[in-house]
Amino acid sequence: MKKKILYLYSDTGGGHRSAATAIMRAVEHVHKDKYHQEMIDVFASCSGFLNIFAKLYGPVIKYYPKMWGQLYYWLDDEKKLERLEKMSGPFILEELTKLIQNKIPD
């Protein structure tokens, strides 16, 4: 029986889908048919609310790069990231848990 690999990514336009696809291809190339692989856009599948913010990434870096840079450096702080995780958790954790339980990756 093939082992299952589940790739969770965010389709923001920042290369996450391309990176996941490249990893899948490399695994397939090296291991042929040893694994069942699947990619899922985690925000689109598990949180419509957080997906709104994910979809804003592309336009923000294109039209407001300075604002994105400020946000990026502001969030380069472990305590701020922990708070952000706590705030966003209720919007995704239940559906993400269901997804993983449904897919049962190894």
pLDDT for the residue 67: 93
pLDDT for the residue 93: 96
Residues 6+ apart with CB under 8 A from 75: 81, 84
What does residue 93 show for φ and ψ, rounded to 5 degrees?
-60, -45
Residues 6+ apart with CB under 8 A from 8: 40, 42
pLDDT for the residue 8: 97
The total number of structural domains in the chain stands at 1
Nearest to 8 by CA among 35, 40, 38, 36: 40
As averages over each run of 10 residues, the pLDDT of the chain (106 residues) reads: 95 89 97 95 95 91 94 92 93 97 97
Q: Which letter does DSSP use for residue 1 in this model? A: -
Q: Which two tokens stand for residue 61?
A: 């870096």
pLDDT tens track for 52-65: 999 998 899 999 99
Q: Which two tokens stand for residue 32?
A: 């042929």
pTM: 0.83
Task: Find the domain containing 40 and state its range.
Answer: 3-103
Residues 6+ apart with CB under 8 A from 3: 34, 35, 36, 106
Cβ burial of 37 (10 Å; 0-12, 13-18, 19+) is: buried
